[in-house]
Chain A
Amino acid sequence: MSNAPRLTALDALHRSLGATMTDFAGWDMPLRYGSERDEHNAVRTRAGLFDLSHMGEITVTGPEAMKALNYALVGNIATIGPGRARYTMICQEDGGIVDDLIVYRLGDTEYMVVANAGNAQIVLDAITERAAGFDAEVRDDRDAYALIAVQGPASPGILKSVTDADLDGLKYYAGLPGTVAGVPALIARTGYTGEDGFELFVAPEHAEQLWRALTEAGQDAGLVPCGLSCRDTLRLEAGMPLYGHELTTALTPFDAGLGRVVKFEKDGDFVGRTALEAAAEKAAANPPRKLVGLIAEGRRVPRAGFSVVADGEVIGEVTSGAPSPTLGKPIAIAYVDAAHAAPGTAGVGIDIRGTHEAYEVVALPFYKREK
């Protein structure tokens, strides 16, 4: 494997749009095209167009595809109806989070697992190994798809103008095959921005045609191309965890406040069950640190790794931080000791290069769209 960054099918297009590119998980991806704050605000108020082709698609098919995934992942795959999707996780035997995933049920015996770019190989290897005893085939489909997302309140109208698919009947966390702008696509109503929106899985050779058609269709609605920088602030405001920040192999889903994704009641064993049962008990009886939101009273921006402090003691650590365009203030997600985790807890601050800046403890998310 070479060390040169991988390029998406839209690479030349991004460069022609003047994108600032960044190396992300081994891919050369658009960081921003112009102002990341303008891109963020466009998604909150109008629409934004993202290239997410770095995400890793893994297809699992066969008579025992569901059973294989039920064993490999912590969620209950048996309850995902055809055409629906589920947020779930894959854990180590010790309960540590390998990655968070979305599983789409594409057919009766066909599932697509979407992993984070940086974990795709590890997830592929783990699912392949865990599915070995089942009548199921695991296929690396990373190169089979480009992924384009259109996100924001104007996105349903924009997408409707280029597809006959029944978008009104397409619920949040559902997907259906269709034709968009003349190209075959898997249309999913999912996203990572806290807004309504769609993710379109298409063959790489169709990506440019689709991108151009969506750009044109969204022109009047104010759609703009958006980079990974605003994707991060959008998901941060929406309180959505990011692997490598809020989620790591050192944490279980219960540590991350996401124990609800673990379904002990499902049939059969699954990797990590024993350790996760212990983690669930510990989280209920003696909660470790809790994941909270922090809003700045001042203007200095917290970053991942900064200490959360109270009375001169370190009580936690920032996992993600950024200036929030929507709130107009810096915000952070942090793990803090349970004693300081209640919203409104007084005297909490963040150590920003030696100065303790005051922060308000709030419940996540920072932002929730009106439905």
Chain B
Amino acid sequence: MSNPQQLRYSKEHEWLSNAEDGVSTVGITEHAANALGDVVYVQLPEVGDTVTAGETCGELESTKSVSDLYSPVTGEVVAANQDVVDDPALVNSAPFEGGWLFKVRVTDEPGDLLSADEYTDFAS
């Protein structure tokens, strides 16, 4: 699997797009999706919620387990992906695209987000 170069990554296996007009998109990586197995339920933060870098903001359930969703940055949620709520399998089939989770207006981000190459090393 390859991790898109234009994204940055957290050690909790979330990805973050570069901000457009201050808004970044967040999802989980293919590595994380593969480790979870089939995702069957996604609970996302709601539009208007404030999320904090490194803190839980939702959950992902797979056949075998439930995992917390961590926000890689701090900010206000401006969109949540209803498509993955309706069809959680999108997280497995298109983790970097249609399986995105939420969009956040970033007010602060930690300094330890990883590049694609750094994350690939970290996750291997």
Which residues of the partner chain B approach A330 to less than 8 Å between Cβ atoms?
A: 40-41
User: How far is A301 from B43 in the complex, measured between Cα atoms in Å?
Assistant: 12
Cβ of B54 within 8 Å of any chain A Cβ, yes or no, is no
Contacts of A323 in B (CB 8 A): 38, 40-41, 61, 63
Interface: A303 (CB within 8 A): yes
With A229-B63, A322-B63 known to touch, is A301 a contact of B41 (CB < 8 Å)?
Answer: yes
Interface flags for B37-68 (1: CB within 8 Å of A; 0: not) read: 11011010000000000000000010111100
Considering the chains assembled together, what is the distance between the CA atoms of A212 and B16 in angstroms?
Answer: 43
Q: Are A303 and B63 in contact (CB under 8 A)?
A: no
Residues in B whose Cβ lies below 8 Å from that of A353: 66
One of A31-39, A89-97, A215-223 contacting the partner:
A31-39
A233 in contact with B63 given A35-B38, A36-B37, A37-B38 (CB within 8 Å)? yes
A206: interface (CB < 8 Å): no
C-alpha gap A301/B39 in the complex (Å): 11
Partner of B92, one of A20, A35, A229, A299: A35
Are the C-beta atoms of A301 and B37 separated by less than 8 Å? no
**Chain B positions within 8 Å of A31 at CB level:** 37, 64
**Is A130 in contact with chain B by the CB < 8 A criterion?**
no
Are A300 and B61 neighbours in the complex by a CB distance under 8 Å? yes
Query: How big is the A interface, by class?
Result: 10 to 19
Inter-chain CA distance A353–B41, complex, in Å, is 15
The listed residue with most B CB atoms (<10 A of its CB), out of A20, A32, A299, A353, is: A299
Q: How many A-B residue pairs have CB under 8 A?
A: 39
Cβ A299 vs Cβ B64 within 8 A: no
In the bound assembly, the distance between CA atoms of A370 and B53 in angstroms comes to 52
**Cross-chain contact A299 with B63 (CB below 8 angstroms):** no
With beta carbons under 8 angstroms apart, the residue of B41, B63, B65, B92 that contacts A300 is: B41
Q: Mark A101-144, 1 if CB is under 8 A from B, else 0.
A: 00000000000000000000000000000000000000000000
Chain A nearest CB: distance from B29 CB in Å? Answer: 16
In the bound complex, CA of A168 to CA of B76 (Å): 65
Indicate if the CB atoms of B41 and A299 lie closer than 8 Å: yes
Contact with A along B57-90 (1 / 0, CB 8 A): 0000101111000000000000000000000010
Flag if B38 contacts A36 (CB, 8 Å). yes
Residues of B within 8 A of A300 (CB): 41, 43, 61
Whether A301 lies near B38 (C-beta < 8 A) is no
Q: Write out, one digit per residue, whether chain A residues 1-43 have a CB within 8 A of any chain B CB (1) or not (0).
A: 0000000000000000000100000000001100111000000
For A229, give its contact among B34, B41, B61, B64 (CB under 8 Å): B64
For the complex formed, measure the closest distance between the CB of A57 and the CB atoms of chain B, giving whole angstroms: 28
Residues in B neighbouring A303, C-beta threshold 8 A: 65-66
Give chain B nearest CB distance to A198 CB in angstroms: 25
A20 contacts across to B, CB distance below 8 A: 34, 37
Cβ contacts under 8 Å, A37 to chain B? 38, 63, 89
Q: Which residues of B sit under 8 angstroms from A301, Cβ to Cβ?
A: 40-41, 61, 66
C-alpha spacing A323/B37, complex, angstroms: 12
Bound-complex Cα distance A323 to B89 (A): 13
| Least CB separation from A233: chain B residue | B63
Q: Which A residues are within 8 Å of any B CB, using their own CB?
A: 20, 31-32, 35-37, 229, 233, 299-301, 303, 322-323, 330, 353
List, sorted by A's number, 6 A–B pairs whose CB atoms are closer than 8 Å: A35-B92, A37-B63, A229-B63, A301-B61, A322-B63, A322-B64
CB within 8 Å of A: which residues of B? 34, 37-38, 40-41, 43, 61, 63-66, 89, 92
Nearest 3 pairs between A and B by C-beta?
A: A323-B40, A37-B38, A299-B41
Known: A303-B66, A323-B61. 4 other contacts (CB 8 A): A32-B37, A229-B37, A233-B63, A301-B40
